[in-house]
Structure 1
């Protein structure tokens, strides 16, 4: 069958789709991903249906609409794109602007491909648009923990509005593919009736050279990975974190993500290895603890390996993710980069954090593997086709 995956043109929304997409491809299905061409290398060898402007253009248009033309040129850089976004602003960015700038092209691409099933990122609007246009089933793939009822309401209202403008009616959702284990869910959480769990898999890319760095004279010390992800990666914050870690007796791998050059980052290279973008699955090798901003990928990836974390949340869903990881006992949360060093010492010394992280890893292992989640999804698709 033909399966179309769709997500906003950003690493944090595209990479979580890949395990399921790769499972479908390995099972012999015709799989493609609708996204901007800038994502092509990351999703290879999966085929890409290229459409829409890059995420920066969507952000600039959102700022122009909400703050006026003069503000568009002074919008915050990509790494601060989510700072202070309200539910209405999120709906404008992820739904109205995307559909307005990319809807016609996305519909044309979708009609050409002719999917039997659409799988869309939780904040994606083009997947539901194509599903409604072609009257085919679609499923949601989770992004963060529940983004919050106000945003979900704003998102759904905006999608219904944009579909209605094209004479379309939203089609019922087939499934919610949830990569968050139960122990990280909010206390008042109730699973949706259409939930299918799916293991989070740290992003891996063949052909990327990486080996755990050596630190002469410092062998045997814990290795700490510092990553702020690919969207909210502020080099000044990263530098402050690395400086704070000088107070802890650890070796450090600090990744700059996709935005800056490692050789321009000044630090003590005897204890710190600075790298550009390296797939997270490789970066986690040999690591004892991860420092991150609590984005979905940079939190779930270490937890899936049983690694505790120190979290400095800043934007969007990060505070909620961090709160739940701390409630599970698998992470310490700080509010300032300068607090990182002391928190790392505390977490490494207190084995309860490691025990809680290993409990999270065990729960993730018992969730559906991508192939199992695919099988369950296709069972529902088949029942819908036969009226069962």
Structure 2
């Protein structure tokens, strides 16, 4: 007999099946866990957590807060802030700022009232007011991009100028005879709910701005401009045109918010939304957007808007005076600027672990 030869089929059947190496699965789980921990450590996650805690605390301690009717009022109360905060987020990410938004809103309201007194229909007044906001934003943008002036100085000046023009247009009068079909429609709720229809518009705009900022080359260019506009300019991106259009969008949205504000309260006044720019900036910075540009996410801004609205709503239900509300808004603005800078300095001074020998 010759030497025995192993039958390959028999050997394969007898051998135990090989088990896949667990390292791939362990690595995937570890990567997912690391990503989750990184997400939970972000500023946006922290703001969402504070928002949830604030809502729960207000629901337990403030009578009338945890009702559908109050939730509807809260949404209406932050509508103008939420609308203006969307383009403001993009502006601040590029390292600029627009402090004229509330005055643009007030001037839009004054012009809206004056045109209504002059006999124009609202169907013509609304688009004219929105175009006015675009022109006001373009003026800011041209002074910043073409004249090379700092946006902080430009928009402080235009803030005073636009508010002064509002008083020139309408004076101390109030126009309050708008048709109910418009004023009632501005605050109408979705059928069978306490949710105002404007919440849907805010959600749609938030999705549009979110996609633009986080999922397009335009959004990446905005972060690049905020981080280093000179390097971005050398890469072929038109920094001037980008910033100019951002100011145009900011003015346009502020004018649209002015139209809604006028119809929501049924009154066109030159002092409408006075000081609202501080609430907008506070909400944006509270949501994790860096005042120095180059960092931030829209989800954090929306959480910041709701957090600011929740705190103000709870304090109003607790019969806290409006002066205290202004103090709280200012305090949140200071904290949103000082806290990130302080934490960054602490991390820089923290001793780094020595490399393994």
Question: Shorter-chain-normalised TM-score: which range?
Answer: under 0.3
Q: Compare CA radii of gyration and give the structure with the larger one.
A: 2
Structure number having the greater strand percentage = 1
> Structure 1 length as normaliser, TM-score?
0.24
> Structure 2 length as normaliser, TM-score?
0.25
Q: Which has the higher contact order (CA 8 A, sep 6+)?
A: 2
